[in-house]
Amino acid sequence: MDCVGVSSLQNLQALSALLSSQREEEEEEDYKHVTAGAQLGPGHIGPLLKKDKEVSTAYMKKNSKDIWSEEEVAEGAQYEDLADPRPQPEYEVILKQSVGTEDLFLGLSRKDPSSMCCEAMLVKIKLPDTKAADVVLDVKEKFLDLRTPKYKLGLHLPHPVHSQEGRAQFFSEREEMEVTLLMKRPMDFINLQ
């Protein structure tokens, strides 16, 4: 029995060596028949883009007299003036949602009470001893800039907004300004149906 065990072990090792050498030889033969075109993948289709981008950025840097590029400057940084002594007024950000009877009683739409289903943002700014004519308001997609002779507010908005579709009202009896901004959401067409 011992002879059978040793011989079967030797037979298995010989068979293993025979199969592995055949497999290696087949792989070498397969690589010999591969053309240069077959070694290319989908990323090799079309012109190389890296060289073009490097040339264009170098060209832009040569022709630009700017100290920093637009990518290097954070959005809203142009409004942050640390040397300005004017105080920041009190403000409050409120998210608004349009709710109809179909939402309230029947629950037919996909709206829920979360902030993801809100359509607008209301910014209430208290401006004591200020006239409406003195207010300068500038709204960008992610930044609200309000300046008066007494106050300065640079507010980074929590959500992107449609900067051209907002509405501002000044209430002189309350000495308060209300800015209503429509929010820009990537999935509005799904959430607001």
Q: Residue 151: inside a domain, yes or no?
A: yes
Helix and strand numbers (H, E) in the chain are: 4, 7
* pLDDT > 70? residue 29: no
Tally of structural domains, the chain: 1
Q: Residue 186: inside a domain, yes or no?
A: yes
Give me the CATH number covering residue 128. 2.60.40.790
CA 122/CA 120 separation, integer angstroms: 7
> In the predicted model, what is the mean pLDDT of residues 44-53?
63
* pLDDT > 90? residue 16: no
| 84: its two tokens | 């300005």
Q: Residue 183: inside a domain, yes or no?
A: yes
> In the predicted model, what is the mean pLDDT of residues 101-125?
80
The DSSP H or E segment spanning 92 is strand 91-96
Tell me the pLDDT tens digit for each residue of 60-103: 555 567 777 766 766 655 556 667 788 999 999 999 988 778 77
Print the domain residue range for 169. 86-191
Tell me the pLDDT tens digit for each residue of 123-168: 999 999 999 999 999 999 999 999 999 999 999 998 899 989 999 9
- pTM beyond 0.75, yes or no: no
